[in-house]
Amino acid sequence: MATKTNNKVKPAEVETPVEPRKWPAGEKPEVYSPEWKEYFRELILERRKDILRELNYLRETSLETTTDQYSGDNSTYSYHMADQGTDAQEREKAFMFASREGKMLRLLDQALQRIDSDTYGYCQETGDPIEFKRLEAIPHARLSIAAKKRREEENAASGGE
């Protein structure tokens, strides 16, 4: 059975306009074009925010171990050896994840620098615009799909590296 509620709206809620995004009208293009740079800036900033949130969570839960956890009744020495190994493995995984996220953060920061210098969205090998869908999936991309594929084939042919 439905109950009646007070449907009054606070004036502040009514007057808070949602700022529309300033993307160009129409369909997304096949390849990057400079009028879409703010779209990509916002996409990159959102990904940065997500990474920083993850790194903060890791710092709080796994990476910052206080000396209190290793002294007194809660000492690691009172745990079974397997528990110590599991704890060490979890800390190592968290460190590796944080390291990978730190690298991603640097790549995103470099992409923001390219946006500011108007070199974003262009292949660093060919100078051609990078595919729009590629930039949406990998906003820090520096190479077009063709250039990336060519580079990977060259590395495979030369034995990697």
Looking at residue 71, its pLDDT comes to 44
Residue with tokens 């495979």: 156
Number of structural domains (the chain) is 1
Is residue 45 included in any domain, yes or no? yes
> Domain containing 43: what range?
30-65+79-157
Own/partner pairs, 146-152, CB within 8 angstroms, 24+ separation: 147/123, 150/125, 151/125
pLDDT one-digit tens code per residue, 143-155? 999 999 999 999 9
> Which range has the top average pLDDT, 2-16, 45-59, 129-143?
129-143
Is residue 7 included in any domain, yes or no? no
Model's pTM, two decimal places?
0.69
Is residue 21 included in any domain, yes or no? no
Is residue 112 included in any domain, yes or no? yes
